[in-house]
Chain A
Amino acid sequence: MAGRYIPLTEDEKRRMLEAVGVASIDALFEAIPAELRQRGELKIAGPQSELEVERHLASLADLNTHSCLSFVGAGAYQHHIPAHVGQTALRSEFSTAYTPYQPEISQGTLQAVFEFQTMMCQLTGLDISNASLYDGATATAEAMLMSNRANDRKTFLIPRSLHPEYRAVCRTYAANLGFNLVEIGFGADGRSDLAEAASAAGADLSAIILQSPNFFGCLEDWTEAARIAHAHDALAVAVTAEALSLALIKSPGECGCDIAVGEAQSFGIPVSFGGPYLGFLAARQKLVRNMPGRLVGQTIDKNGRRGYVLTLATREQHIRREKATSNICTNQGLCALMATIYMATLGRRGLRDLACLNLSQAAYLRKAIESSRKMRVRFSGTCFNELVVDLGRSSKEVQERLQDRGVIAGLPLGVFFPELATTLLLCVTETARREDIDTLVRELEAVL
């Protein structure tokens, strides 16, 4: 009995075996020494009908909460996704195609990537962008490796206000390469102490890696970071975990940064328990040969017609092997397509309007907290759509109590910053209505 995904009938198998010249299916596997072969079947139930599988998965999905009011951000943002984004991206022609190695029959994917690269350049204010990386954390680590390739130096300034998971991934990637990762502290405004960065910068500085809005939601000074880096002939890497902010905030390029990386999950990609997301990396033209990942370029065909191809592939692993600029092969292609459709839909006006709404939401939340006597805004720095609230007592306990009241009140920061164990990182996107924000503040006050 052939499974529903396997077309061959028993009769066809017999005919094919005959053509191959072997007596049985088993004989096809004769290259595997008999003593190594598996005896009996795997211990996996099934096959199951589609209905049964769907029911089982639905029962698991139902074990997860999805009807709470959630105010969690911290690198994964719940934005509304227009219906056509997923429907268009999931068309078979996009989702079931491979990497566009054969350009003549992959122009759809290639042109979409070219458009993605263009939009990321426009947003970051830089000259070139690649076709995507796994996520914001690995993109940050790739920027670190790229800086090392560009200037052959090994010291990196990594502020503590950089997303803790991004920092952790940088440490993992650097573990066997002899890199020196220097942490920089933050002040009462929630921003990195760039004076400390300036004094830590020396002749071996490869790059300063500064996130804005940073992990606490505060805007950082990329211009000053670039000035410090350039004074030492080093590079400035701008990181953004909430890509929507780029629509309204002075771009890394305009601030003088050399590389911009981050997470573009906000652009039409569901939070999906942490992935798949969309890492991006953009840079100045002079760094093009050091770029990791795929690049799509415009060219012409033999009739002079415009077309697109994967280009500058000699940087990549399949040609340069251990000397490649990165080991990345499969990237986040379909996520980049979703982001491209999303950005095209919102466009020049919609993206800025949405960013402005997020800014307004956080301003409203901030005002509400400031007018409460039971809690306070922890950092004075300007925010985009996230801020840190200090409850004066264990935020983990408060957050747990609010769960019973149908509210997930942000992320307790004690898990990453012991000194911030009384604080919550709160996020408000356009999905929160005014009454939802009021509910949050009311519920917090009720348990404090």
Chain B
Amino acid sequence: MKPEMKLIFEKSREGRTGYQVPDTGVESVDPRAHLGRWFREDIAGFPELSEPEVVRHFVNLSKLNYSIDEGMYPLGSCTMKYNPKINETTAAMDGFAGVHPYWPERQIQGALRLMRDLEHLLCEITGLAAFSLQPAAGAHGELTGMLMVTAHNKSRGEKRDVVLIPDSAHGTNPSSAHICGLKVQQIASNTRGRLDLESLRAHISPSVAALMITNPNTLGLFEDEIAKIAGMLHEAGAQLYMDGANMNALLGKVRPGDLGVDVLHLNLHKTFSTPHGGGGPGAGPVGAAKHLERFRPVPVIEEHDGQLRFASNRPDSVGKVKGFYGNFGMLVRAYTYILSLGASGLREIAEAAVLNANYVRAKLSDRYHLPYSCLNMHEVILSDKKQMVHGVTTLNIAKRLMDYGFHPPTIYFPLIVSGAMMIEPTESEPLDEIDRFIAAMRAIADEAETNPDIVKNAPHSTTVQKLDEARAARTPILRWKP
């Protein structure tokens, strides 16, 4: 067994450093005298190591992670697809990575053109009128979109303070709406796993600002009554917000704007292949229909005499949502990706993603309970109902998958399915890898019957085993101390 990994602070030795300060030719000041009462004596406990030690530490840490570059990562709703390496090359180009956000406009025409082109591409893909690339992540996009809806209502002198959210929604939806001062009302799902129109009708009122819908929803099902839903909302003067987290299923197949969506966010780190980075950074551009365009955050990009520039004088704008202009580096990556694929490539992505997910369903439907047994889109939901008889739960199955060399699916979400396992293979997986995953899932189903303990005590192969989360939360240790 590998020895326990030390913390970087525990490897520190007084007197070491991994950095040599450059000689700029400028005479050094005495910081104590210069700073006076502001002077700080020391950064107690800060590590001291040479460069090779630092590199080894982090390379060894990296080996404790599972990643998409190692194998299938079927984490539903997260779209763990392959992240092309060319995207890293382009984002790191000195003409992008080395450009300061406050350089004068004449020096940044390339960056502005890239952003403008990307806005146009996203408009084409979604069928919406305008985009803002500023939100830093999906939840930030939700916040921005709902701020725009709120500004729109205010501009019409309407007080609408209710947002409708399906019970299958991501937790970010209600949380983002809350920051806009909106009250959340939950809409039920029907037996087909879609938004229940009766429940919606009962909640529609002059106070409703918007419905936030995810389409395909978190059950991996297309909201097939979306046009009717849009009609009901618009009739009541409310907006239709679409959480575009699952846009991977729709690329080149259907455009949200054509469904009556008024405002949506995309997750460039899901659909458009920018790496998840162990938790970020992402980017959550927001698209808007014509009537909401003027509420976009500032600045927006405008063209004058062939030159592009930022415009901030926009009286209806919700204001600034982020410093500078968004996670530009992620925009370069997504732009590179869209150009690489073109229209046919984007469409093939949706097709392969949907085919792979349906194939997984077909091959596991005899061994796992399917709460919704119809054709699905880019992801399929299973539950642990059949395994519970043997005392084996979704959590156990997830942990056991690690022993078979896979990252588990998203588990216990959406909340409306007991013991949910949400599997999203994405388009990136070769059939052989999908078959290997299916074989692992079937083997675990066998084990649940014949040797449930091996499943219940999983994982067995990882460097650390089941971690005591209650202990971590009861007496939190959130930092190292000497």
Asked if B368 CB lies within 8 Å of chain A CBs, one says no
Which of A20, A60, A356, A357 is in CB contact (< 8 Å) with B95?
Answer: A60
Closest to B30 in A: A356
Chain A hits for B358, CB < 8 A: 16, 20, 22, 28
A276-B281 in contact (CB<8A): yes
| Contact, CB under 8 Å: B59 / A343 | no
Contact A84 B55 (CB under 8 A): yes
B199 at the interface (CB under 8 A from A): no
B327 touches A344 (CB 8 A): no
**Do B43 and A348 touch (CB < 8 A)?**
yes
Distance between B288 CB and nearest chain A CB, rounded to angstroms: 16
Q: Are A42 and B346 interface neighbours, CB within 8 A?
A: yes
The 3 closest A-B pairs by CB, nearest first: A46-B342, A61-B95, A274-B324
Those of A107-150 within 8 Å (CB) of chain B: 107-109, 111-115, 117-119, 121-123, 127-129, 131-132, 134-138, 145
Q: Which of A44, A277, A309 meets B472, CB within 8 Å? A: A309
Q: Of the 9-residue stretches B200-208, B249-257, B381-389, B445-453, which lies at the interface with chain A?
A: B249-257
A93 vs B83: C-alpha distance in the bound complex, in angstroms?
A: 12
New contact pairs (17) apart from A19-B359, A97-B68, A273-B111, CB-CB < 8 Å: A48-B342, A60-B114, A86-B92, A88-B62, A95-B278, A137-B322, A169-B322, A248-B40, A299-B471, A302-B466, A306-B4, A307-B467, A331-B281, A335-B277, A353-B21, A355-B31, A360-B26
B24 and A432 contacting across the interface, CB-CB below 8 Å: yes
| Contact call A92/B322, Cβ cutoff below 8 A | no
Neighbouring B residues of A272 by C-beta, 8 Å: 91, 96-99, 328-329
Q: List B residues 82-139 near A (Cβ within 8 Å).
A: 82-84, 86, 88-104, 106-111, 113-114, 121, 124-125, 136-139
**Smallest beta-carbon distance A291→chain B, Å:** 9
* Contact residues of A between 322 and 362, Cβ < 8 Å to B: 322-324, 326-335, 337, 340-341, 343-357, 359-361
Q: Are A76 and B375 in contact (CB under 8 A)?
A: no
A105 at interface by CB-CB < 8 Å: yes
Write 13 A-B pairs (CB below 8 A) sorted by A numbering: A5-B427, A8-B427, A20-B362, A21-B362, A63-B113, A94-B58, A135-B322, A273-B329, A288-B478, A331-B281, A332-B281, A334-B275, A349-B17
The number of A-B residue pairs with CB atoms under 8 Å apart is 704
**Known interface pairs A19-B362, A28-B375, A92-B69; A42-B17 also in contact (CB < 8 Å):** no
Per-residue contact bits, chain B 59-91, to A (CB 8 Å; 1 contact, 0 not): 101111111111001010010111110101111
Q: Does A311 contact B (CB under 8 A)?
A: yes
> Are B323 and A274 in contact, CB atoms less than 8 angstroms apart?
yes
List B15-70 residues whose CB lies under 8 Å from chain A.
Answer: 16-19, 21-22, 24-29, 31, 34-40, 42-49, 51, 54-55, 57-59, 61-70
B391 at the interface (CB under 8 A from A): no
With a CB–CB cut-off of 8 A, which chain A residues contact B210?
Answer: none
- B429 touches A (CB below 8 Å): yes
A106 interface contact, C-beta 8 A? yes
Name the B residues within 8 Å of A61 (CB-CB). 90, 93-96, 110
A41 with B347, Cβ < 8 A, contacts A103-B464, A137-B320 known? yes
Chain B residues within an 8 Å CB radius of A104 = 399, 402, 459, 462-467
Binds B, one of A29-37, A180-188, A203-211, A228-236: A29-37
- A173 x B348 contact (CB < 8 A): no
Interfacial residues of chain A within 171-202, with CB under 8 A of chain B in the complex: 171-173, 175-178
CB-CB under 8 A from A288, the residues of chain B are 476, 478
**Contact digits for A253-283, partner B, Cβ 8 Å, 1 yes 0 no:** 0100000000100000011111111000000
- Contact call B136/A275, Cβ cutoff below 8 A: yes
B332 interfacial contact with A, CB 8 Å:
yes
B420 at the interface (CB under 8 A from A): no
Stretch touching chain B among A66-74, A372-380, A386-394, A440-448: A66-74
Across the interface, A2 reaches (CB within 8 A) one of B103, B140, B348, B473, namely: B348
CB of A290 within 8 Å of the partner chain:
no
Count of residues in A whose CB is under 8 Å from the partner chain: 204
Q: Determine how close the nearest CB of chain A comes to the CB of B173; give it in whole angstroms.
A: 8
- A131 with B110: CB separation less than 8 A: no
- Expressed in whole angstroms, the Cα–Cα distance for A163 and B138 within the complex equals 25
Assess A132 versus B339: contact at CB under 8 Å? Given A41-B252, A300-B467, A326-B175.
no
| Cβ contact within 8 Å between B319 and A334 | no
Please give, as numbers and ranges, the residues of chain B lying within 8 Å of A371 by CB-CB distance. Answer: none
Nearest-neighbor residue (CB-CB) of A347 within chain B: B48
Contacts of B182 in A (CB 8 A): 176
Residues of A within 8 A of B114 (CB): 57, 60
Q: For the complex, is A439 an interface residue (Cβ under 8 Å from B)?
A: no
CB pair B221 A118 closer than 8 Å: no
Of residues 392 through 420 on chain B, the ones whose CB sits less than 8 Å from some CB of chain A are 398-399, 402, 407-408, 413
| Residues of chain A contacted by B297 (CB below 8 angstroms) | 172
A250 to B180, CA, bound (A): 37
State how many angstroms separate the Cβ of A392 from the closest Cβ of chain B.
21
Q: Which of B48, B121, B284, B351 contacts A348 (CB 8 A)?
A: B48
B5 at the interface (CB under 8 A from A): yes
Known: A47-B345, A103-B464, A359-B35. A28 touches B90 (CB 8 A): no
Q: How far is the CB of B266 from chain A (nearest CB, A)?
A: 13
A326 to chain B: which residues have CB within 8 Å?
175
B139–A317 touching, CB < 8 Å: yes
If A66-B95, A344-B47 touch, whether A328 touches B139 (CB-CB below 8 Å) is yes
A175 to B147, Cβ gap below 8 A?
Answer: yes
Q: Could you mark each residue 423-448 of chain A with 1 if its beta carbon is under 8 Å from any beta carbon of chain B, else 0?
A: 00000001011110100000000000
